[in-house]
Amino acid sequence: MALAGCATATRTAVVDLQVGMSREDLRLHFGEPLRIEPAASGGENWYYRFVAWQTRPTQDSGISNEYGHLAPYASSGLDVSKGTEESPIHISSGGYVIEPLPKGKVVHK
């Protein structure tokens, strides 16, 4: 019997992060943060992993030599990929999510 390996897809939280969510809301929907750091404002920064689509322009140009004929060429496009990044969610001193919100969706544990 042969076993085939498969890559697991990144699971993101069903609920979107919103301004005004409480600490309890964050724990309920996204789980425990990776870490919590104090903020200069008296609040906290809760760090989670976020997944987002990233685009990068691509381009190539040159001269091709096919069948003894020189011909210039140029191409351009977009490289699209999904990446994860650790980002802080800012919590006010009163215990609620404030702006700016990180881009992307929280990766669910």
The secondary structure of 86-99 as a DSSP string is EEEEEE-TTSBB-S
What whole-number distance in Å separates Cα of residue 59 and Cα of residue 91?
41
pLDDT over 70 percentage in the chain: 90
Q: What is the domain partition of the chain in residue ranges?
A: 23-106
**What would the pLDDT profile of 13-47 be if each residue is shown by its tens digit?**
778 999 999 999 999 999 999 999 999 989 999 99
pLDDT at 80: 76
Q: According to the model, what pLDDT value does residue 109 have? A: 62
Confidence of residue 57 (pLDDT cuts 50, 70, 90): confident
